[in-house]
Amino acid sequence: MSIERELSKRGGSKCELCAATENLKVYEVLPTRKGGLDESIMACGTCIEQIETPGNEDLNHWRCLNDSMWSEHTAVQVVSWRMLSRLRSAGWPQELIDQMYLDEDTLAWAQSTGEGEEDENKVIHRDSNGVILEVGDSVVLIKDLKVKGSSMVAKQGTAVRNIRLDHENAEYIEGKVDGQTIVIITQYVKKI
């Protein structure tokens, strides 16, 4: 059975965040480790647009998280936590965060995009042109890079998809090149 059908069945043909029944799509919760059903949710176009466009949130729309944050599905919990963290300055989202319990791995996944960190504490990753990089972005190497501890050379022009960020160092990102996860210095990449 396809992921879309499984998620539709799991969510009762509704958005797993706001319970809307129109314009439903599979939304993959980044960063993914294995992908698939456990790292995806069924979400409506309104939720997806607001998740992907910070600063464009309709605060009243997200009151639905009062219910969806209790989902038994980890991916729904992660997105709920991220959105509540983003909206915490409104007051009521912080109260809901305080009620949530996420195990250590789930909380690490939720925090992996930097959501919930204070702006002055956030490490901002920029490519060679100064463009801000986010978890899950795709970049292209602008220089041949020797991979330490290996005889491999990552060639200029190689696309690296679904990058991860080092939350302690703004110069480092991680990505897979030829099936091997490597650390890449941001000054040698350009966002695609």
Burial degree of 116 (CB within 10 A; 0-12, 13-18, 19+): middle
Burial (CB count <10 Å: 0-12, 13-18, 19+), residue 32: middle
Amino acid at 88: R
Q: Are 112 and 162 in contact (CB under 8 A)?
A: no
Q: What is the pLDDT of residue 53?
A: 83
Contact criterion met (CB below 8 Å) for 167 and 123:
yes
**Could you tell me the pLDDT band of residue 4, with boundaries at 50, 70 and 90?**
very high
Amino acid at 119: D
**85 vs 189: CA distance, rounded Å:** 30
The pLDDT score that the predictor gives to residue 42 is: 96
The pLDDT assigned to 119 comes to 56
**What are the domain boundaries of the chain?**
3-111, 138-191
| Amino acid (1-letter code) at residue 120 | E
Structure tokens at 185: 């210095």
Provide the 3-class DSSP secondary structure of residue 17: coil
Supply the pTM of this predicted model. 0.65
Band (pLDDT 50/70/90 cuts) for residue 124 is: confident
Q: What is the pLDDT of residues 136-178, one digit of tens each?
A: 889 999 999 888 888 888 899 999 988 888 877 889 998 888 8
Distance, C-alpha 123 to centroid of its chain:
16
CATH (residue range 138-191): 2.30.30.40
